[in-house]
Structure 1
Amino acid sequence: MVQFKSNNRQELDINLITVLIGGLISTIIIYLLLLPFQESYIGILLYQRGFTQHLAIFFASIVVIITINKYLIITKEKNILKNIGIPEKISFENHKSKQLQYLHEDFARNYSMITGRLSRILNAYILSGSRKIVTELALDDSSFYLSSSESSYALPRILVWAIPLLGFIGTVLGISQAVNGFNGFLDNSAEIEQIKEGITTVTTGLAIAFDTTLLALFLSVMVMIPLVLIERMESQLLLATEIYINDHILPRLIENNHPQQSILNTDTLIKNINDAIDNKLPTKEELIQPIRDALPTPQDLINPAEIYAKEAAKKLMTEFINQLKEIQTKQVELIDSIKETNQIILKDGNLSRRNDFDKLTKYYILSLVFFALVILLSLIFK
């Protein structure tokens, strides 16, 4: 598996601890080299003009080390930009192609500002397939590097500004020493030797005042000019990088016409979230099944009603049969009565009464049938 170096977008920055240690070592080396020349003008300037001279040398050494490191980094980045190139045979039409994957891995493997930016651009294009998204990323990247470049020069600018202030502090101290020596000279002006001593003290204080200012102004000018040039070189490097990206990378990218295929697309993200929820959470059937198991089945609800209906039907049929038996009994009794009546009529020989009796018999029979139907209906709708 390919291992990539971490990229925190600080390829052009300088390590502060390294710079401070380097400045301290440079200051010590300068004073050690000039140790045999303490009596010379430069030796006197560095060794006999107070602590402000040491601080000025230390601050100037820090600025010089930052400038040198920046120069080396910028020179390296310029060489990479000059030699870098994406072959024309590599196609950007398919943002998932193996060629783009290999190119992205190759850029990510090399730790530099140029390759880091190209790696992020290719990675965004591989993931999104959208030129618009890649362009926005490139703009954000550019803004970040401009801000980072501006902030990386904050420390050397402060030191360049502080070096003349150290010279002014030395001037104040020297003038103060000269004034104090002049006051002592006036108090002890009786003897020639004392006068010489007083004059020496005054001139020494004035020498400190002027020498500290001289060294501070000289150092600030000497370190400020290279620093400005290096800052300009870094701005040109960032501009050249932007030109390369906009002229050779972004025009070759193709806008994806099917945004739903992009994993950065909103619809796709929503779909992926829904799929994850569907795979992790129980389905509706799984949630409803325990409730179904706890509730009685339709057959369990129907069985009691079915049993009751069967029992009611049996009871109804029993009562109906009993009523039919009673009707049959009444019918037999009625027929016997009719037979007796007919015998009486035959004996009397009265035909008219016989006809009337036949009609009456018909009415009785109809009434009996009607009565049976009423009983049957009452049993049915009971």
Structure 2
Amino acid sequence: MTDSEEIEDSKKEKRSMLDGLEAQASGAGKTNKSSAGDASSAGWKSVSYLDPGRSKTLFLGIVFTLIFYVLVYALGASISNERIKGVFDIFLKPRNLIVVVPACALFFWGIAILIIKRLRLRKQKSALAFSIIPQDPTFVLNAETAKLVLGRLEKTISDPDQFLLLRRIRISISNLRNLGQVSDVSEILRAESEEDVARHENSYALIHSFVWAVPVLGFIGTAIGLSVAIGDFGSVLAGANDLSAIKESLGSVTSGLGTAFETTLVGLFLALFLQMLAAIQEDEESKFLNDCSVYCQEAIVSRLRISSEK
């Protein structure tokens, strides 16, 4: 068996163990709540806040694109300065629309994803301020005091699973009776942390594809513009008999060149801006996940006192 296969088997074993412990923890934490099973009705699930979903964000992206074009059209019509007006015209020229509109749609779809992720991250961060573990330095966690912590958890919020941090705490301390060593709890928390990091990274797959696709659309516009310009220039040379006629026909040629460079400019600018915003959000989420791991280490693992008796 290769090293990669051993690592994969180890991950599967961890996931299987977590699934079993989570099922037990869910049953233990909801014995007094007949209707608490429908967690989605109470708020965002911890496993879904990292991935805001495609249908909702796609709809918002389309709405943002429509609003953007309404504003561009209105402002472009009201501005008299030719240079500023030319910037708005880049998004409105008929030859540019076939490339610029899809590029803007992907850009605003990515913006919609980042907005929802920002709102959900703010909600998740609020869990760090909850007083779940007693602040008494002499307090220790064992099978008995875990009941106190779970009680405080239920009093603090009706459905802790809507918060990533509280979900980790619930899963770990609800199974203290089934664990023999502190290292077992630490391993559960470490596995949960790895799962959350993996979900965090996967939630950016769509945005990263947009960052790749938007400039590609710009380059497609470049190819279209150059082909149109070359074709028009050939027609000009074939149909013109004198220099003055050639000069009069060069307008269509320069229009094609304008499409080539303008669409590339739009694609590169949108991709750069989206990548910068995504990097900022991704960094903040990574810091939050690290804060959750540090919280669990200091508030749970360092206070555990598990009896070796089974």
TM-score band, normalised by shorter chain: 0.7 to 0.9
| Equivalent of residue 241 in structure 2, options 181, 186, 190 | 190
For the Cα contact (< 8 Å) 1:81–1:114, is it kept in 2?
yes
Partners of 2:132 and 2:149 within 8 A in 1? no
Are residues 161 and 178 of structure 1, via their aligned partners in 2, closer, same or farther at CA, if it must alter by over 3 Å? same
Question: C-alpha distance in 1, partners of 2:177/2:154?
Answer: 12
Query: Counterpart in 2 of 1:109?
Result: 159
May I ask how many residue pairs the two structures share in their alignment? Answer: 259
C-alpha deviations, 1:339-359, integer Å up to 9, x for none?
xxxxxxxxxxxxxxxxxxxxx
The separation in 1 between residues aligned to 2:215 and 2:252, in whole angstroms, is 25
Query: For the residues of structure 1 that align with 2:141 and 2:74, how far apart are their CA atoms?
Result: 67
Partner residue of 1:95 out of 141, 144, 167: 144
CA distance in 2 between partners of 1:10 and 1:126 (Å): 29
For residue 155 of structure 1, report the CA deviation from its aligned partner.
0.5
The CA deviation at 1:85 is 4.4
CA apart distance, 1:130: 4.5
Q: Which residue of 192, 200, 213 maps to 1:149?
A: 200
Q: Which residue of 2 aligns with 1:138?
A: 189
TM-score of the superposed pair, with normalisation by structure 1: 0.63
Report the counterpart of residue 337 of structure 1 in structure 2. none
Question: What RMSD over aligned residues (CA atoms) do the two structures have, in Å?
Answer: 2.3
- The answer to whether the aligner puts 1:54 opposite 2:105 as a matched pair is no
Contact 1:60 1:219 in 2 (8 A): yes
- Counting only pairs closer than 5 Å after superposition, residues 182-331 of structure 1 correspond to structure 2 as 182-190=233-241, 194-259=245-310
- Residue 354 of structure 1 aligns with which residue? none
SS of structure 1 residue aligned to 2:47: coil
Cα pair distance change 1:84/1:180, threshold 3 Å: farther
Are residues 80 and 101 of structure 1, via their aligned partners in 2, closer, same or farther at CA, if it must alter by over 3 Å?
closer
- 1:43 counterpart residue number: 88
Max Rg structure: 1
Q: TM-score, normalised by structure 2?
A: 0.76
Structure 1 residue 105: Cα displacement: 3.4
Name structure 2 gaps, 5 residues minimum.
1-31, 78-84
1:74 to 97, 112, 121: 121
1:220 Cα offset (Å): 1.1
8 A Cα contact 2:133 2:149, kept in partner: no
Distance 1:245 1:8, change over 3 A: closer
CA displacement, residues 293-323 of structure 1 (integer Å, 9 cap, x when unaligned): xxxxxxxxxxxxxxxxxxxxxxxxxxxxxxx
Residue from 54, 62, 65 that aligns with 1:16: 54
Q: Which runs of 5+ in 1 are unaligned?
A: 260-382
Indicate conservation of the 8 Å contact 1:95/1:126, yes or no: no
Task: Name the structure 2 match of 1:373.
Answer: none
Give the conservation status (yes or no) of the 8 Å contact 1:100–1:126.
no
Alignment of 1:337-356 (within 5 A): none
CA distance in 2, matches of 1:29, 1:47: 14
Aligned 8 A contact 2:49 2:121 in 1: no
| Greater share of residues in helix | 1
The alpha carbon displacement at 1:53 in A equals 0.2
Question: How far apart are 1:153 and its partner, in Å?
Answer: 0.5
Instruction: Give per-residue Cα distances to partners, 1:121-178, cap 9 Å, x unaligned.
Output: 2222255465333222111101101111111111001101111111100001000000
Instruction: Give the Cα separation in 2 of the matches to 1:109 and 1:15.
Output: 21
Distance 1:214 1:67, change over 3 A: same
Instruction: Give 1:32's aligned residue.
Output: 70
Q: CA–CA distance in 2 between the matches of 1:84 and 1:17?
A: 36
Per-residue CA deviation, residues 55-86 of structure 1 (Å, 9 max, x unaligned), is 11011101111122222222222232144441
